[in-house]
Structure 1
Amino acid sequence: MTPVEVVQGGSPVVLGLPHTGAYVPADIRAKLNERGRGLADTDWNIHKLYAGLLPGVTTVRATFHRYVIDANRDSSGESLYPGQNTTGLVPMTDFDGRDIWHVPPSGGEVEHRREMFHAPYHAALNTEMARVKAIHGVAVLYDCHSIRSRIPFLFESTLPDFNIGTNDGTTCAPKIAEAVAAICEAAKGYSAITNGRFKGGWTTRHYGRPGEGLHAIQMELAQSTYMEEAPPWPYLHERADRLRPHLKSILCAIEQLALQGDLA
């Protein structure tokens, strides 16, 4: 099983897809409990939602599930949100705070998974960001995520539809964040917030170095905008078709800003 799938394009925009994979090796699956084997905390259908929206975009997609190892976490295990409920490099609980392991992984197992899955994903993402930057002088990582709109263990109330993360303005040029926010805020029937509960995961924070021509922005979508938030997690075409034009506008706006070369 290849841990990462890459589709190369000529656009300055790179889509990161760290959480759409559902592959769990048999030996790891055997150690998950029944709840864990349900793989509830997947960014279901995100690769389908974004497919075809921006011609020439590069995509880097992890094929493994986040319960194997989370590609959007620091390999050191450092928390992204100190003091808040969250999940780690290899999650011990699901997003509802419930145990997912019958036999939790040892430190050696975690390191093996880091080498086999986490490291190849980021090697591919780093390579594609460098390749795109060599072509255009700039590269923009748009990190694609989704999550259930109501998860009391992680956040209060109902999550906004568009959750934009730039780690408080540090991971991309202001023009990128402003353009994305403007499109989201103008989208009729949707709610939006920038740097709310989700400020951008480790990927966004790690690759977003605007001073080096490397920009990153995370979009965490409420899954209610395009799918049913319960097993078997069906993709709802009518909802998705209403959402996709807004996502297309976002990606096109980012690409245009990058091609104009005015992101200082």
Structure 2
Amino acid sequence: MHPKAFEFEQGDSPLLISMPHVGQALSDEVAQKLTPNAALLPDTDWHLPTLYRDVKSLKPSMIIANYSRYVVDLNRPADDQPLYQGNTTGLFPQTLFTGEPLFHSPISDEQHEWAKNEIWQPYHQQIKDELARLKAKYGYALLFDAHSIRSQIPFLFEGKLPDLNFGTNQGHSGDPRLVEALLPVCQSNAYSWVVNGRFKGGHITRHFGQPEQQIHALQLEMAQHVYMQEQWPFSYLPDKAAQIQPVIFALLRTYVERAAQIFT
């Protein structure tokens, strides 16, 4: 029996947190065809639900994917149009972030169709429905798309990523005042940060962020070295995590509080 596409918990605030790349479940066909390196699931956004556990006191709604991005990438558009120039991965990835092949034989069209209909579509429908509910209740809705990635991946980008990488689709996915409010939080600690650098927001941020409709979206891509071991076995590092968790909490609290000041 296949697991459900995602876990969803409805909150009591205007905020919806999405975690589309934390899933580790595999369909039978994908599991059978992964290369040995790919079977380790190295491109997973490891441990984010644990890292974000303290933000539950803000009472957000949360949607957390169950399936690996190797089955279907929930942060890519259904038509699989590329979001970034240069090397990237698509709706149905064929390579690891290193550029190595994911599979030792091709995945069937039937598998892809199943993944799109049973995983991708329900996840996006739940986001759409929850944002509509939040807007109806509060007059506006806030989406925060949470991600993490290894800090150095030459196949995808040069050099080393900043610790905190905010994406707003070049300012089009939300009111610029919301991001401006986060900058003092970033400046008050030792973590490096950038807005709309290599990561400008994936499909979820770009598609659902509609500030003219009072739906505002922000992506945070976090360098994994700030809270975990970036290589196998991808261990969670509690001492490091404890240092970044108050920053995450402050960012999300500020996001919510500034929105309330602006929109109510």
TM-score range, shorter chain: over 0.9
Q: CA deviation at 1:109?
A: 2.6
Tell me whether 1:244 sits opposite 2:245 in the alignment: yes
Contact kept, 8 Å, 2:164 with 2:223, in 1: the verdict is yes
1:113 to 96, 115, 135: 115
Backbone CA RMSD of aligned residues: 1.2
Partner Cα distance (1:54, 1:184) in 2: 21
How do 1:58-97 and structure 2 match up within 5 A?
58-81=61-84, 83-97=85-99
Give the corresponding residue for 1:123.
125
Question: How far does the alpha carbon of each residue in 1:36-60 deviate from its partner, in whole angstroms, 9 at most, with x for none?
Answer: 2111000000111111324211101
Question: How far does the alpha carbon of each residue in 1:150-193 deviate from its partner, in whole angstroms, 9 at most, with x for none?
Answer: 10011111100000000110001011111223312322x21000
Partner Cα distance (2:262, 2:157) in 1: 38
Partner Cα distance (2:100, 2:29) in 1: 21
Q: CA deviation at 1:125?
A: 1.1
Give the corresponding residue for 1:141.
143
Give the corresponding residue for 1:262.
263
Counterpart residue identity of residue 256, structure 1: E
Question: How far does the alpha carbon of each residue in 1:218-264 deviate from its partner, in whole angstroms, 9 at most, with x for none?
Answer: 0000000100111111111111110011111111011112222438x
Partner Cα distance (1:26, 1:180) in 2: 43
Partner Cα distance (2:30, 2:158) in 1: 32
Give the corresponding residue for 1:5.
7
* Alignment gaps of 5+ in structure 1: none
Partner Cα distance (1:52, 1:183) in 2: 17
Give the corresponding residue for 1:177.
179
Tell me whether 1:235 sits opposite 2:233 in the alignment: no
Give the corresponding residue for 1:195.
196
Equivalent pairs counted in the alignment come to 261
* Alignment gaps of 5+ in structure 2: none
Give the corresponding residue for 1:47.
49
Query: Per the alignment, in what secondary structure is the counterpart of residue 219 of structure 2?
Result: strand
Question: How far does the alpha carbon of each residue in 1:94-125 deviate from its partner, in whole angstroms, 9 at most, with x for none?
Answer: 10000010122233431221001101111111
Give the corresponding residue for 2:225.
224
Counterpart residue identity of residue 218, structure 1: Q
Partner Cα distance (2:263, 2:140) in 1: 10
Partner Cα distance (2:29, 2:209) in 1: 35
TM-score by length of structure 2 reads 0.96
Query: Per the alignment, in what secondary structure is the counterpart of residue 30 of structure 1?
Result: helix
Tell me whether 1:215 sits opposite 2:210 in the alignment: no
